[in-house]
Amino acid sequence: MNELFGTLSDGTAVHRWTLERAGVRVRVLTYGGIVQSLEVPDRDGAAGNVVLGFAELDGYPAHSGPYFGALVGRYANRIAGGRFTLDGLTYALPQNDGSNCLHGGARGFDQRVWDVEPVEHGVRLSRVAGHGEEGFPGRLEVSATYTLDAHGALRIAYEAVTDAPTVVNPTNHSYFNLAGAGAGNAGGQELRIAASRFTPVDADLIPTGVESVEGTRFDFREARKVGAGHDHNFVLDKGVTPAPVEVAELHDPASGRVLTVSTTEPGLQLYTADHLEEPFAPCDGVALETQHFPDSPNRPEFPSTVLRPGEVFRSETVYAFSVR
């Protein structure tokens, strides 16, 4: 179902698409590719929305900083100093996170209205990010296809091509609370991540290297309460894969809801939303951002995020739901 959701301050219309299959209902906005709501049943069969968001369009531009449910890019996460060098050329980016460029800059993918077309069991959002948009090189043709599979899993498949060398690293920035949006602190929910290493960070949240999770608070190889105080990238044991592989599980014992995350990506950013403000509170949701590592354009030892003309960038992440 497609409906007018509202208009932006410049008069641009924003539409909402509703997808339903196998007891799951997801609503996606053309503004920012935002997952506005995601309703799944609990162990008693009662449906509840498990992502944080707003009932009205105005809430999103008014609270753009937390990136509620948004498709973020061209480069998700942080690029140190707001600059990187590619093929001998240095590119300056907006410094919208202290001295860093965060989630694509001051006006990234999350604040753009995307073109949309229906596909089987979903929608395909697309846009062209021009050469120099937010400082990034290359005219980038990018799409994100949202579908519900036969089991009600939400699949997000990204594709991009460029006419000049660039860097690409999109993700979805939904905050999950399996007890239900508005249920309060999600820190008591149980998380497992298939990662034996993580990237520790400096005071500016830029990686300083790669270390083992053994004996640290970053060891989620066995499920435990997620708690607070996390905004870190986990180095997934499976690395980059051609098809999605299961990498994480979030479980709410009270409702019985289980979220399983599978991805092609090599990293997962765990953000426990310690800094959320009104109308939400700190730790009201947990972001599980599948992506490449922070600051990869400046770190040749990390998996590459470079896309060149003639290549096709592809990644896919699957959010599957069950109960126990």
Q: Which residues are catalytic?
A: 173, 289
Residue with tokens 């590459």: 304
Peptide bond into 279 cis (omega under 30): yes
DSSP label of 135: G
Chain-centroid distance, C-alpha 199: 18
Burial status of residue 225 (CB atoms within 10 A of its CB: 0-12, 13-18, 19 or more): exposed
The answer to the question of whether 77 is labelled as a binding residue is: yes
How many Å apart are CA 280 and CA 35, to the nearest integer? 17
Answer for the pair 213, 197: CB distance below 8 angstroms, yes or no.
yes
Spatial CA neighbour of 259 closest among 244, 249, 269: 249
The answer to the question of whether 175 is labelled as a binding residue is: yes
Spatial CA neighbour of 97 closest among 81, 111, 83, 85: 81
Q: 10 Å Cβ neighbour count for 128?
A: 11
The CA distances from residue 151 to 22, 25, 58, 288, 321, in Å, are 6, 12, 33, 21, 8
DSSP label of 80: G
The answer to the question of whether 274 is labelled as a binding residue is: no
Q: What are the structure tokens assigned to 28, written together?
A: 């996606």
Degrees to nearest 5, angle at CA 198 with 75 and 190:
100
Annotated binding residues: 77-78, 173-175, 231
Annotated binding residues for beta-D-galactose: 77-78, 173-175, 231
